[in-house]
Structure 1
Amino acid sequence: MRQLKWTPAVVLALMLSACDKADNGDGGLAQSPDRLISLFDPVAASAVIPFPNDGLFTGTTDGTLNIPNPANAPFVTAANRLDGFSTVASAFTDLIGRVDLGSANAPGSIVIINTRTFSALTPGVDYRVQRSTAIDPLTGRPLDALRSRLLIEWLKPLAPATTYLVAVTRALVSEEGVHAEPADLFRVVLSSRTVDEQFASGTEPALTTLSPAQRAALENVRQLYQNRILPALAAAGIARENLVIAWPFTTQSVGVTLSRLAATVTPQPMTLVATGLTTQDVIPALPPVADVYIGSLTLPYYLADAAATSEDGDFLINGAPDNPLNSFWRADPAVVSSGNTPTGIPCGAIAPSESTTGCFPQPRARASQRVPVLVTIPNANSGRTMPASGWPVVVFQHGITGNRSQMLPIAPALAAAGFAVVAIDLPLHGLPPGHALRAGTDAFPPSLRPTERTFDLDLVNNTTGAPGADGTADASGTHFINLSSLLTSRDNLRQAEADLMTLSASLAGAVILGGDFMPNGNRFDGNVPTRYVGHSLGAIVTASFLGADPGTGAAVLAMPGGGLAKLLDASASFGPRIAAGLLAASGGSIREGNDTYVSCPG
Structure 2
Amino acid sequence: MKKLLLPLAVASALAGCGGGETLEDVKNETPTVVPQSTVVFDPGAGEISVPNDLLLSGTTDGTLNIPGEGDDYTNPQLALGALDGWSTQMPYAIDFDFSPGVSLDATSAATPGNVRIFEVVMGADQSSQTCAQVPAGIACEYVKELNFGVDFITQASGNSVAVVPLKPFTQGRSYITVLTNGLTDSAGNAIAPSSTYASVSSEDPLVTEQQLSLQAVINSYEDVIVGGSDLSKDDIVYSAAMTMQSAGEVLGTIKSLLAASLTQDSLPKPEMMIPQQPALTVGQVFAAQGMQDINPAFNAVSYEKGSIVLPYYLKSPQGKELSDLNNTYWQANCDSAVTVLGYKEQAGEAFPEQPVSENDAICATLSGGQLRDLSLDDKRHLTKYNTIPKVQSYRNIPVQVTKPADLMTLNAIRSQLGLDAMSMPAAGWPVVIMQHGITSRKEDMLALTAALSIQGFATVAIDHPAHGERGIDVDNDGTDDFNATTGSVLAYMNLNSLLVARDNLRQSAADLLGLRLGLNFANDPMLNTMDVGFVGHSLGAVVAPAFLSMTNAELDPQVDPLFKVNTVALGSGGGGIANFLLASDSFGPFIQGSVLAGAGTDESAAFGAFLQEGAVSSCAQFIDNQEAYVGCGYQAFLAQLTAQGDTASLANIQGLLTQFTYAAQTLLDAGDPTNYAMRVNAQQTPVYTSVVVGDGMENKPDTVIPPMVESNPIAGTIPLAMMMGADNAAQTQLADSPQSYLVRFSKGHHGTLLTPAANPQAGASAADSAAANAEMQQQVATYLKSKGTILPITNEDVIAQ
What TM-score range do you get, normalising by the shorter chain? 0.7 to 0.9
Distance 1:474 1:415, change over 3 A: closer
Distance 1:12 1:256, change over 3 A: same
For 2:410, the equivalent position in structure 1 comes to: 382
Structure 1 distance, partners of 2:578, 2:12, is: 31
What are the residue-to-residue correspondences of 1:429-440 with 2, within 5 Å? 429-430=467-468
What are the residue-to-residue correspondences of 1:148-547 with 2, within 5 Å? 148-175=159-186, 177-195=188-206, 220-226=213-219, 228-237=220-229, 238-266=231-259, 267-273=269-275, 274-283=277-286, 284=292, 285-287=294-296, 288-306=299-317, 324-333=325-334, 348=370, 354-380=380-406, 381-383=409-411, 384-430=422-468, 452-456=469-473, 474-475=486-487, 477-512=489-524, 523-528=526-531, 530-547=532-549
How big is the shift at 1:127? 1.1
Name structure 1 gaps, 5 residues minimum: 15-30, 133-143, 197-214, 307-315, 431-451, 459-467, 513-521
CA shift digits 1:293-331 (9 cap, x unpaired): 11211111111235xxxxxxxxx67x9997555312211
For 1:125, the equivalent position in structure 2 comes to: 150
Structure 2 distance, partners of 1:217, 1:330, is: 34
SS at 2:390's partner residue? coil
Structure 1 distance, partners of 2:321, 2:582, is: 30
How big is the shift at 1:531? 0.2
What are the residue-to-residue correspondences of 1:2-41 with 2, within 5 Å? 5=7, 7-8=10-11, 11=14, 36-41=37-42
Distance 1:13 1:102, change over 3 A: farther
How big is the shift at 1:588? 4.2
172-181 vs 254-263, which deviates more? Answer: 172-181
How big is the shift at 1:70? 5.8
Q: TM-score, normalised by structure 2?
A: 0.56
Distance 1:260 1:359, change over 3 A: same
Structure 2 distance, partners of 1:340, 1:163, is: 22
SS at 2:247's partner residue? coil
Q: Which residue identity does 2:151 align to in structure 1?
A: D
How big is the shift at 1:158? 0.8
Structure 1 distance, partners of 2:331, 2:172, is: 20
Structure 2 distance, partners of 1:280, 1:303, is: 36
Q: Which residue identity does 1:236 align to in structure 2?
A: G
Q: Is the 8 A contact 2:118 2:146 kept in 1?
A: yes
CA shift digits 1:356-386 (9 cap, x unpaired): 2112111121111001111211111323532
For 1:557, the equivalent position in structure 2 comes to: 570
For 2:733, the equivalent position in structure 1 comes to: none
* Alignment counterpart, residue 568 of structure 1, candidates 567, 581, 589: 581
Q: Which residue identity does 2:295 align to in structure 1?
A: L
Distance 1:159 1:587, change over 3 A: same
367-376 vs 74-83, which deviates more? Answer: 74-83
How big is the shift at 1:170? 1.0
How big is the shift at 1:394? 0.5
Q: Which residue identity does 2:660 align to in structure 1?
A: Y
Q: Which residue identity does 2:530 align to in structure 1?
A: N
Structure 1 distance, partners of 2:463, 2:79, is: 26
Q: Which has the higher contact order (CA 8 A, sep 6+)?
A: 1
Structure 1 distance, partners of 2:482, 2:500, is: 24
How big is the shift at 1:478? 4.0
Q: Which residue identity does 1:389 align to in structure 2?
A: A
Structure 1 distance, partners of 2:527, 2:301, is: 15
Q: Which residue identity does 1:511 align to in structure 2?
A: N
Distance 1:399 1:10, change over 3 A: farther
Q: TM-score, normalised by structure 1?
A: 0.74
Distance 1:586 1:55, change over 3 A: farther
Identity of paired residues, percent?
31
Q: Is the 8 A contact 1:69 1:76 kept in 2?
A: no
Distance 1:428 1:8, change over 3 A: same
Name structure 2 gaps, 5 residues minimum: 18-33, 122-141, 260-268, 287-291, 343-366, 412-421, 553-563, 605-651, 666-801
SS at 2:394's partner residue? strand
Structure 1 distance, partners of 2:591, 2:566, is: 35
Structure 1 distance, partners of 2:483, 2:387, is: 40
Structure 2 distance, partners of 1:364, 1:186, is: 43
Q: Is the 8 A contact 1:36 1:180 kept in 2?
A: yes
What are the residue-to-residue correspondences of 1:94-109 with 2, within 5 Å? 94-95=95-96, 96=98, 97-109=102-114
Distance 1:153 1:471, change over 3 A: closer
What are the residue-to-residue correspondences of 1:577-592 with 2, within 5 Å? 577-583=590-596, 586-588=599-601, 592=653
Structure 2 distance, partners of 1:164, 1:219, is: 23
Q: Is the 8 A contact 2:6 2:59 kept in 1?
A: no
CA shift digits 1:38-74 (9 cap, x unpaired): 2222223xx4222111111122111111212167562
Q: Is the 8 A contact 2:73 2:497 kept in 1?
A: no
Q: Is the 8 A contact 1:457 1:474 kept in 2?
A: no
Q: Is the 8 A contact 2:83 2:245 kept in 1?
A: yes
SS at 1:395's partner residue? strand
For 2:65, the equivalent position in structure 1 comes to: 66
Distance 1:584 1:216, change over 3 A: farther
Structure 2 distance, partners of 1:562, 1:472, is: 21
Q: Is the 8 A contact 1:543 1:557 kept in 2?
A: no
Q: Is the 8 A contact 1:393 1:422 kept in 2?
A: yes
Q: Which residue identity does 1:100 align to in structure 2?
A: D
For 1:593, the equivalent position in structure 2 comes to: 654
SS at 2:226's partner residue? helix
CA shift digits 1:193-225 (9 cap, x unpaired): 2456xxxxxxxxxxxxxxxxxx98666533432
Q: Which residue identity does 1:150 align to in structure 2?
A: V
How big is the shift at 1:12? 5.7
- Report which of the two has the higher share of helix: 2
How big is the shift at 1:335? 9.2
Q: Is the 8 A contact 1:88 1:154 kept in 2?
A: yes
409-418 vs 4-13, which deviates more? Answer: 4-13
